[in-house]
């Protein structure tokens, strides 16, 4: 299979004894179309056949479903690591006995504040029940984990929650952001703002350094700052970074009635792939066009900052559900720490009035692959000197790195109106045209760039050869490359690898 589901979240029931203010599923009572015990066990077998490695049973409140332990046992019998996330209300020695017998590895409990705040969000007496559950698990040596959903009114309580968890011997703590869906959509004023993400990240980083409790950030908090990378590395291994939303790629979401989605947070009809009651699970996962909203998402479809971000190809805008419910889009994410870090530079750069300083900073940013910063510098420089071809040429390069070939084309055309035969502008325009599917026009423009280039500017030879090669014209590509190599000894050395590759391709053809 092209895509293999590694992990899953399965809402085994919509029944819940609480009515939490931030519940995304708006859980209440058992639904009449909930999977039967027989259907649930068959689904366990089907998940194993797909190669699933890890699953979290959720709800609703999973412990309200009488056969939860049978579902868990069937999964663990297939060597699927099985965890449960609970509100903690029902956890007692009997539940722990059943969980142990079923082979459950971890029970994660939701805790969203101190007694006053937690009970106000969930249910009176809930905090004490959580504390009791943690005591039981600690006594029994059962792995406990806490999940905290962060909103404006409990964000200041994170240090207090930390002390509670340390005292209770909790081994791992996950922080996630309350998403404006379900019940929280009705109270969206309590959803944190993008700039408050930094406060969460700073707190998590401090806790990581203390080594008092293992702390993890959920997929909706990200993505590529040094602190986030360090936090992820402390949990998953050094160098671990966000690899993009796995929904429908490596993650499968299962709703209470057997409907399949990429993520249980994406439950409206646009994201439902079908039901296991009507179509076999494997067919739902593998059929052409399945989960297209994520599997077919590409950098070309991204918008705003996400489109030009240095991590765009890998990240693709981050967590799908958070994009969907905070911005009503799948192509851009405003809740991104890296974006915030770049945008903080804008006022500082706008205060620079000297062209040389702006250009020097742009060049340094490009050398560090910080093209987002280079763009800010160059746009400010253009405000000061709108007819400077060097600025336009560099900006065209930045847009090409963003894979924004249309803006690259427009910027180089603007430069050519000022300097008609500028070889660098012609090169940039030719490359952009080729990438936009206008290969013939692009090739002719690159040839024109060679015509007006000085002997020490050999880039057009390389770029034309590559463009011709991509178009399938190996003979002409070799001819151009050999011409350039005959002119410049340094280019001969620089182009040796591509030259040998072209020779090999021609021989194989």
- Residue 81's pLDDT band, with cuts at 50, 70 and 90, is very high
Residue 312's CB: how many other CB atoms inside 10 A? 20
The stretch 49-61 carries a mean pLDDT of 95
The Cα–Cα gap between 189 and 228 comes to 26
- Residue 24's pLDDT band, with cuts at 50, 70 and 90, is low
The one-character DSSP state at 247 is B
> Considering the chain, what is the average pLDDT of its residues?
93
The Cα–Cα gap between 426 and 76 comes to 62
User: Residue 290 contacts by C-beta under 8 Å, 6 or more apart in sequence?
Assistant: 248, 273, 284
The stretch 486-496 carries a mean pLDDT of 89
The one-character DSSP state at 492 is H
Q: Determine the pLDDT at residue 25.
A: 59
Mind listing the pLDDT tens digit for each residue in 421-450? Answer: 999 999 999 999 999 999 999 999 999 999
Q: Determine the pLDDT at residue 112.
A: 94
Q: What's the distance, Cα to Cα, between the start and end of the chain in Å?
A: 30
The Cα–Cα gap between 24 and 333 comes to 19
The stretch 114-125 carries a mean pLDDT of 93
Helical packing angle, 423-435 and 405-418, nearest 10°: 150
CA distances from 227 to 159, 322, 375, 486 (A): 18, 21, 24, 50
Mind listing the pLDDT tens digit for each residue in 197-232? Answer: 999 999 999 999 999 999 999 999 988 999 999 999
- Beta strand 107-110 with 144-150 is parallel
Q: Does residue 90 contact residue 61 with C-beta atoms inside 8 Å?
A: yes
User: Residue 212 contacts by C-beta under 8 Å, 6 or more apart in sequence?
Assistant: 162, 166
- How would DSSP label each residue in 17-36? S---TT-SS--BS--TTPPP
The stretch 39-53 carries a mean pLDDT of 97
Burial class for 448, CB neighbours closer than 10 Å (0-12, 13-18, 19+): middle
Is pLDDT of 26 > 70? no
- Residue 184's pLDDT band, with cuts at 50, 70 and 90, is confident
Q: Determine the pLDDT at residue 50.
A: 95
| Cis upstream peptide for 460 (omega within 30°) | no
The Cα–Cα gap between 249 and 262 comes to 8
Mind listing the pLDDT tens digit for each residue in 375-387? Answer: 999 999 999 999 9
The stretch 77-100 carries a mean pLDDT of 96
Is pLDDT of 161 > 90? yes
Q: Determine the pLDDT at residue 2.
A: 87
The one-character DSSP state at 62 is G
The stretch 138-161 carries a mean pLDDT of 94
Q: Determine the pLDDT at residue 239.
A: 82
The Cα–Cα gap between 173 and 163 comes to 12
Is pLDDT of 27 > 80? no
The stretch 321-350 carries a mean pLDDT of 93
The stretch 90-116 carries a mean pLDDT of 96
């Amino acid at each position: 299979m092209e895509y293999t589901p590694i992990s899953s979240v399965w809402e085994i029931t919509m029944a819940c004894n609480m009515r939490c203010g931030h519940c995304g599923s708006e859980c209440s009572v058992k639904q009449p179309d909930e999977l039967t015990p027989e259907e649930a066990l068959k689904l366990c077998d089907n998940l194993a056949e797909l190669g699933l490695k890890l699953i979290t049973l959720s709800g609703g409140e999973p412990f309200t479903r009488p056969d939860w332990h049978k579902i868990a046992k069937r999964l663990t019998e297939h060597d699927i690591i099985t965890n449960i996330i609970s509100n903690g209300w029902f956890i007692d020695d009997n539940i722990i006995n059943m969980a142990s017998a079923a082979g459950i590895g971890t029970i994660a409990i939701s805790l969203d504040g101190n007694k006053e705040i937690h009970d106000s969000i969930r249910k009176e007496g809930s905090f004490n029940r959580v504390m009791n559950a943690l005591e039981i698990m600690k006594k029994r040596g059962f792995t406990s984990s806490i999940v905290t959903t962060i909103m404006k009114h409990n964000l200041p309580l994170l240090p207090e929650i930390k002390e509670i968890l340390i005292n209770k011997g909790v081994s791992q703590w996950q922080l996630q952001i309350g998403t404006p869906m379900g019940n929280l959509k009705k109270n969206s004023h309590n959803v944190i703002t993008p700039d408050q993400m930094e406060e969460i990240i700073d707190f998590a980083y401090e806790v990581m350094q203390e080594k008092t409790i293992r702390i993890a950030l959920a997929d909706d908090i990200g993505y590529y700052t040094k602190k986030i990378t360090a936090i992820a590395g402390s949990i998953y291994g050094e160098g671990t970074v966000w690899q993009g939303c796995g929904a429908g790629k490596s993650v499968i979401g299962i709703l209470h009635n057997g409907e399949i989605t990429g993520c249980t947070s994406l439950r409206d009809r646009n994201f439902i792939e079908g039901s296991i009651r009507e179509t076999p699970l494997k067919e739902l996962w593998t059929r052409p066009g399945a989960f297209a909203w994520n599997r077919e998402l590409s950098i070309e479809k991204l918008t705003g900052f996400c489109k030009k971000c240095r991590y765009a190809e890998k990240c693709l805008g981050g967590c799908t559900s958070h994009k969907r419910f905070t911005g009503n889009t799948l192509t851009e994410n405003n809740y991104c720490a890296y974006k915030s870090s770049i945008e903080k530079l804008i006022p500082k750069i706008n205060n620079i009035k000297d062209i040389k300083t702006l250009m020097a900073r742009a060049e340094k940013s490009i050398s560090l692959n910080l093209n987002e910063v280079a763009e800010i510098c160059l746009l400010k420089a253009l405000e000061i000197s709108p007819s400077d071809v060097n600025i336009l040429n560099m900006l065209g390069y930045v847009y090409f790195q963003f894979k924004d070939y249309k803006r690259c084309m427009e910027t180089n055309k603007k430069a050519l109106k000022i300097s008609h035969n500028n070889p660098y502008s012609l090169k940039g325009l030719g490359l952009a045209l080729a990438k936009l599917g206008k290969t013939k026009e692009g090739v002719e423009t690159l040839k024109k760039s060679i015509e007006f280039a000085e002997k020490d500017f050999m880039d057009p030879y390389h770029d034309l050869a590559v463009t011709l090669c991509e178009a399938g014209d190996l003979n002409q590509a070799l001819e151009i490359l050999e011409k350039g190599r005959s002119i410049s000894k340094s280019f001969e050395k620089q182009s040796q690898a591509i030259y040998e590759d072209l020779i090999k391709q021609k021989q194989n053809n």
